Chain A
Amino acid sequence: MRAFLLTILLLIAQPLWAQDLGAVLDANRDQIAKPSRQTIGPVITEIAAAGEGADRVLAAWADRRLGLAGDRFVIVEGDSATDAVTGESVTGDVDGLRPNSGVRGLIAAALVQFQLTDPDPVRRRAALTAIARQSDESHLAALREAPAESDPILAARRDRLERLLTIQYDTDTDARLAAIDSFDGDAGTDLQAVLNPLLATTRFAGPELPADANVARALTPDSENLPRAEAYRLLVDAGLAEPRPTDADIKAALTANIAGDAVGGVPVADLGDPDRRDDAYTALAEAGTVPTAATADEVDSALEANAFADLFTEPSSEITDAARASLRGMQTREGIMQALDLSLDALSLASIYFLAAIGLAITFGVMRVINMAHGEFIMMGAYTGYVTQTMIADRTLSLIVALPLAFAITFGAGVLLYQLVIRHLVKRPLETLLATFGVSIALQQLAKNIFGTQARPLTAPAWLEGSITFADGVSISTIRVAIFVLALLFLGLFLFLMNRTRLGLQVRAVTQNPGMAASMGINPDRIAMMTFGLGSGIAGIAGVAIGLFAKVTSELGSDYIVQSFMTVVVGGVGNIWGTLAGAALIGGLQKGIEVLNPSNTLAAQTYMILFIIIFIQFRPRGIMPQRGRMAEA
């Protein structure tokens, strides 16, 4: 009875084409069950116009809560399901509908008209977001007609959107110009997104420019912007000139006209020579069997007879001028932003290299012991982080546990390696290199045997997810900032340790003159062991950090080992500031080269290494060489 009354009411309230929601859904059941973005538009419009309950159905559909139970549509709420039209609860199997994200975008756009007037600010915000994502002409009217916004933030957003939509859809040129002007000094990406399409051009070629054309720029053939061949091709495409035969065309024409053993008087056997082919073709053309190829003169005259230009698709020149002026103003700002963003990336990469190399700088720089297993210590740290995370579910807590644990484990491993291998090879650096390499391949394979070759997840806690945005287009992920902070922390720790503690003093003494240090009562062996353990321990912490932003695999270490060595060597051995400079140079260089050739990251790495090889030829002791008697050791 109620449903009947409702129907009556709806019939009165709605225009004649509006139908009952249930009827609309039923009529379009197949389409709704398997929607395609290209064809579903009218159905969504129809549902949206079906009155009472339509917004609920659409919202559920977009959230993938709409389903089919038998042949009736139901809305799923948690475990329970209700009929989409009547609202009564439904039991039984529900076949969930899964519209793809293109369709969901359309639904969200259709929902805007309901949501804009919704009392709930969350809904209103969703509506604005939907418009920002995908707008159409109707939204402009909807925005203008909606009641005044009470929430100041939403009001500002709505106002901005309204002006953006005015630029796009308004029919009144003055209103559009005013809207463009109102954004003066703004460089938002959403504004660029609106202005750029206004400047879209098409290329024109013909005897005369159309009278009402909004010309972006006139083109002269055979210039940099319009090469001769390209210009002629435009004419051919426009049907204004005859195409010139390609080599393949000539060959086909010759093949088709073989007479006996010759074509156009040229023996077939001679046709391997390109000049003879031309002769044959010319002969055929003179005989009239094939069309004459356009000569260079003919091409020239055809090019001269026609005009070439880029035309705006936007007919109003006032609009395009305004848009162009506005965009030009943004360009400088844009360039600075990009440079800033790039420096952030470079800084982040440098801090990662620094973190990976700092342990190595200690062992290699201070002890002259080259540890090829350093990369595997990094890997051990990363796996420690992974194992900790599998045991402690809380990610923040597990990270707090994992960092010291990784340090402890790799510290122990380092001390063990020192005791078992390195101290027996102290005066033989090349042998140390090889022996530690043996350790490295054994450790790597061991990791594969234990954890498998697949990448393991090591996920950052929620507060490290996301990114920090400084301005439009200048942002960096939080985890990278954390790594940067960690690198700074270790720099400070290292400086403190070396310059302010007794251990540091002893280490420096042993580095400078082990014999004299031993005479002063320092045990060089113990100091070396501690140093080595410390370097390894830091590698372990670096491993956790690297695992957080990249991946945890058994090859993690070998990915960084060469770069780490480069960092230390380029910076200058035995000097932490050198390592810092080396990391900055390598990180900056890599990003710099990437900008020059954005489509090929591999090339950037290649040229970076090449640069380093050459750099070392000229500064064999690095950026900050050690001075004094130690230098030649």
Chain B
Amino acid sequence: MGLRAILLGAAAVSAIAGAAAAQDGDTIKIGVLHSLSGTMAISETTLKDTVLMMVEQQNAKGGLLGKQIEAVVVDPASDWPLFAEKARELISVEGVDAIFGCWTSVSRKSVLPVIEELNGLLFYPVQYEGEESSKNVIYTGAAPNQQAIPAVDYMRDELGVEKWALLGTDYVYPRTTNTILEAYLKDNGVAQEDIFINYTPFGHSDWSKIVADVVALSNDGKQVGVVSTINGDANVGFYKELAAAGVSADQIPVMAFSVGEEELSGLDTTNLVGHLAAWNYFESADSPENAEFIEQWHAFTGDDSRVTNDPMEATMIGFNAWVAAVEAAGSTDTDAVLDAIVGVEVPNLTGTTAEVLPNHHLTKPVLIGEIREDGQFDIVSQTDPVPGDAWTDFLPDSAVLDADWPGKDCGMFNTETDSCVQVQSNY
């Protein structure tokens, strides 16, 4: 009796599910996989709003392929296993055609096997450590050669830095970035003892000893520069201690890779003026596209004080590239879109264009900004768009690797042995 009831119930539920699936025809669904609660909520909620704004604009323009776009928003709550669970739900239950989401590397690594298994499509909008190229992911943020390497070049050439302090929060992005930078600096003739590396836990607040160590580095007369991959809240304490120690940007410049307009709003910036950040976009960028984007953003959120930042620009580029690819392919099928998307060019907000490369990364200009008193950045350097390199050239193991999806159908191709190391990603 019990069993029969369950069977009947099951049949009924599946009938409903089937009916729901049949209704999907008139809209195109996309998934938004950003944490709306937990530690990452503050950063990721902004990106969710950005996607929703892009969807609204696209629908106002008449949608895509004659259909309206529907955004399915889920909340993985800054919980990494939950990212995988929600991604599976989005693809297999909701049937979305593309997912815009993730911020931290570990969340991307969590989602990756699911996306590859179910042949989904993920647009990942944050600068990251590289060493990855998945068939099913388009990396719209910066690879290390589009942020870290040019930033270090700038410090060496323009600021005359000879001695380096690489400070980072202890997780994979700073680790890998610093490993790459260390190899790069050594290739450029910097001695091992002129590179100081330190890792601190998330949310670290006791910076006095580390700042003292950094200041002591300059005792031998060399110009010291700090490359900071310190993440999130920990920056507050770091910059406060730096200011308290009386270290000005002229004495020891700090180049940050994870500090943008959003992070600065938690700080009194008067003591930070002149310190630097490297991104592919700053809100202060002077271009008509940017002015329009900021205006739309303020209108969409109904809040004139909301700042814009680099991952938002990456999200916007990713969305526009997807739209262009879908229109070119005439379908939202993953394989068709992936074929069409390589080579797509969409304008970015700094006056140039972003092209989707065969390794699923983008071309991006590198901007260096100096912190102003009002929490914005003065752009002091801007390069031409740099093609993103999935596998860095500065580590011997990955220098021989290459990613070329349309050409070689492989994201990890060993050019030395001329063979594909693996088609699926190693997570």
Contact of A189 among B204, B219, B266, B274 (CB under 8 A): B219
For residue B129, CB closer than 8 A to chain A, the reply is: no
Interface residue ranges of A473-513 to B (CB < 8 Å): 473, 475-480
Of the listed stretches B240-248, B298-306, B359-367, B402-410, name the one at the interface; the rest are far from the partner chain.
B240-248
Residue-wise, chain A 577-616 has the 8 Å CB interface mask toward B (1 for contact) of: 0000000000000010010001111100100000000000
For residue B53, CB closer than 8 A to chain A, the reply is: no
For residue A185, CB closer than 8 A to chain B, the reply is: no
- With A103-B158, A594-B209: A601-B250 Cβ-Cβ less than 8 Å: no
For residue B18, CB closer than 8 A to chain A, the reply is: no
Q: Are the CB atoms of A551 and B170 closer together than 8 Å?
A: no
A143 to B395, CA, bound (A): 47
Looking at B206, B213, B265, B271, the one whose CB has the most chain A CB atoms below 10 A away is B206
Contact of B199 among A133, A550, A601 (CB under 8 A): A601
Q: Are the CB atoms of A348 and B244 closer together than 8 Å?
A: no
Residue-wise, chain B 229-240 has the 8 Å CB interface mask toward A (1 for contact) of: 000110011001
- With A100-B159, A479-B244: A457-B267 Cβ-Cβ less than 8 Å: yes
- With A345-B212, A594-B209: A602-B201 Cβ-Cβ less than 8 Å: yes
* Contact residues in B for A345 (Cβ distance below 8 Å): 208-209, 212
For residue B198, CB closer than 8 A to chain A, the reply is: yes
For residue A137, CB closer than 8 A to chain B, the reply is: no
Residue-wise, chain B 201-226 has the 8 Å CB interface mask toward A (1 for contact) of: 10111101110110010111110000
Contact of A102 among B160, B201, B213, B237 (CB under 8 A): B160
Q: Are the CB atoms of A459 and B268 closer together than 8 Å?
A: yes
Q: Are the CB atoms of A559 and B160 closer together than 8 Å?
A: no
Contact of B266 among A192, A349, A455, A594 (CB under 8 A): A455
- With A133-B251, A193-B220, A453-B42: A37-B158 Cβ-Cβ less than 8 Å: yes
Q: Are the CB atoms of A105 and B250 closer together than 8 Å?
A: yes
Identity of the chain A residue whose Cβ is nearest the Cβ of B211 in the assembled complex: A477
Q: Are the CB atoms of A599 and B197 closer together than 8 Å?
A: yes
Rounded to whole Å, the gap between the CB of A220 and the closest CB of chain B is: 22
Residue-wise, chain A 314-357 has the 8 Å CB interface mask toward B (1 for contact) of: 00000000000000000000000010011001001100100000
Q: Are the CB atoms of A341 and B212 closer together than 8 Å?
A: yes
Looking at B159, B233, B262, the one whose CB has the most chain A CB atoms below 10 A away is B233
* Contact residues in B for A598 (Cβ distance below 8 Å): 198, 213
Contact of B265 among A196, A454, A476, A479 (CB under 8 A): A454
* Contact residues in B for A466 (Cβ distance below 8 Å): 244, 246
Rounded to whole Å, the gap between the CB of B250 and the closest CB of chain A is: 6
Looking at A102, A465, A466, the one whose CB has the most chain B CB atoms below 10 A away is A102
For residue A456, CB closer than 8 A to chain B, the reply is: yes
Identity of the chain B residue whose Cβ is nearest the Cβ of A168 in the assembled complex: B221
Rounded to whole Å, the gap between the CB of A212 and the closest CB of chain B is: 24
* Contact residues in A for B197 (Cβ distance below 8 Å): 599
For residue B283, CB closer than 8 A to chain A, the reply is: no
Rounded to whole Å, the gap between the CB of A450 and the closest CB of chain B is: 14
- With A38-B157, A100-B370, A551-B266: A193-B219 Cβ-Cβ less than 8 Å: yes
For residue A170, CB closer than 8 A to chain B, the reply is: no
Q: Are the CB atoms of A101 and B370 closer together than 8 Å?
A: yes
* Contact residues in A for B38 (Cβ distance below 8 Å): 453
- With A477-B208, A551-B233: A599-B198 Cβ-Cβ less than 8 Å: yes
Rounded to whole Å, the gap between the CB of A130 and the closest CB of chain B is: 10
A476 to B246, CA, bound (A): 11
For residue B121, CB closer than 8 A to chain A, the reply is: no
For residue A104, CB closer than 8 A to chain B, the reply is: yes
For residue A549, CB closer than 8 A to chain B, the reply is: yes
Q: Are the CB atoms of A601 and B204 closer together than 8 Å?
A: yes
Q: Are the CB atoms of A454 and B160 closer together than 8 Å?
A: no
Q: Are the CB atoms of B42 and A454 closer together than 8 Å?
A: yes
Q: Are the CB atoms of A452 and B42 closer together than 8 Å?
A: yes
Q: Are the CB atoms of B266 and A454 closer together than 8 Å?
A: yes
Q: Are the CB atoms of B370 and A465 closer together than 8 Å?
A: no
For residue A98, CB closer than 8 A to chain B, the reply is: yes
Rounded to whole Å, the gap between the CB of A95 and the closest CB of chain B is: 10
Rounded to whole Å, the gap between the CB of B253 and the closest CB of chain A is: 6
Q: Are the CB atoms of A37 and B199 closer together than 8 Å?
A: no
Q: Are the CB atoms of A601 and B201 closer together than 8 Å?
A: yes
A478 to B246, CA, bound (A): 11
- With A98-B380, A591-B209: A550-B221 Cβ-Cβ less than 8 Å: no
Q: Are the CB atoms of A601 and B198 closer together than 8 Å?
A: yes
Identity of the chain B residue whose Cβ is nearest the Cβ of A164 in the assembled complex: B221
Chain A: interface residue total (CB-CB under 8 A): 57
* Contact residues in A for B265 (Cβ distance below 8 Å): 454
A106 to B140, CA, bound (A): 38
For residue B415, CB closer than 8 A to chain A, the reply is: no
Q: Are the CB atoms of A101 and B250 closer together than 8 Å?
A: yes
Interface residues of A, dominant DSSP: helix
Rounded to whole Å, the gap between the CB of B355 and the closest CB of chain A is: 25
Residue-wise, chain B 172-207 has the 8 Å CB interface mask toward A (1 for contact) of: 000000000000000000000000111111011110
Q: Are the CB atoms of A196 and B219 closer together than 8 Å?
A: yes
A457 to B235, CA, bound (A): 12
A475 to B267, CA, bound (A): 23
* Contact residues in B for A478 (Cβ distance below 8 Å): 244
Rounded to whole Å, the gap between the CB of A233 and the closest CB of chain B is: 14
Contact of A457 among B158, B262, B266 (CB under 8 A): B266
A338 to B196, CA, bound (A): 17
- With A473-B216, A480-B208: A549-B249 Cβ-Cβ less than 8 Å: no
Rounded to whole Å, the gap between the CB of B156 and the closest CB of chain A is: 10
Q: Are the CB atoms of B198 and A600 closer together than 8 Å?
A: yes
For residue B14, CB closer than 8 A to chain A, the reply is: no
* Contact residues in A for B266 (Cβ distance below 8 Å): 454-457, 551
For residue B313, CB closer than 8 A to chain A, the reply is: no
* Contact residues in B for A192 (Cβ distance below 8 Å): 219-221
For residue B39, CB closer than 8 A to chain A, the reply is: yes
* Contact residues in A for B201 (Cβ distance below 8 Å): 601-602, 605
A559 to B237, CA, bound (A): 13
A597 to B253, CA, bound (A): 25
Identity of the chain B residue whose Cβ is nearest the Cβ of A606 in the assembled complex: B201
* Contact residues in B for A465 (Cβ distance below 8 Å): 243-244, 271
Q: Are the CB atoms of A348 and B208 closer together than 8 Å?
A: yes
A622 to B405, CA, bound (A): 62
For residue A242, CB closer than 8 A to chain B, the reply is: no
Residue-wise, chain B 36-49 has the 8 Å CB interface mask toward A (1 for contact) of: 00110110000000
Q: Are the CB atoms of B42 and A37 closer together than 8 Å?
A: no
Rounded to whole Å, the gap between the CB of A165 and the closest CB of chain B is: 12
Query: A residues engaging B (CB < 8 A)?
Result: 36-38, 98, 100-105, 133-134, 189, 192-194, 196-197, 338, 341-342, 345, 348-349, 352, 452-457, 459, 465-467, 473, 475-480, 546, 549-551, 553, 555, 559, 591, 594, 598-602, 605
Of the A-B pairs whose beta carbons lie under 8 Å apart in the complex, a sample of 21, sorted by A's number, is A101-B250, A101-B370, A104-B250, A133-B250, A192-B221, A194-B221, A342-B209, A452-B42, A454-B42, A459-B268, A465-B244, A466-B244, A467-B244, A473-B216, A475-B212, A476-B208, A479-B244, A551-B266, A555-B233, A599-B197, A602-B200
Q: Which 7 A-B pairs have the closest CB atoms?
A: A193-B221, A477-B244, A196-B220, A550-B205, A551-B236, A455-B266, A102-B158
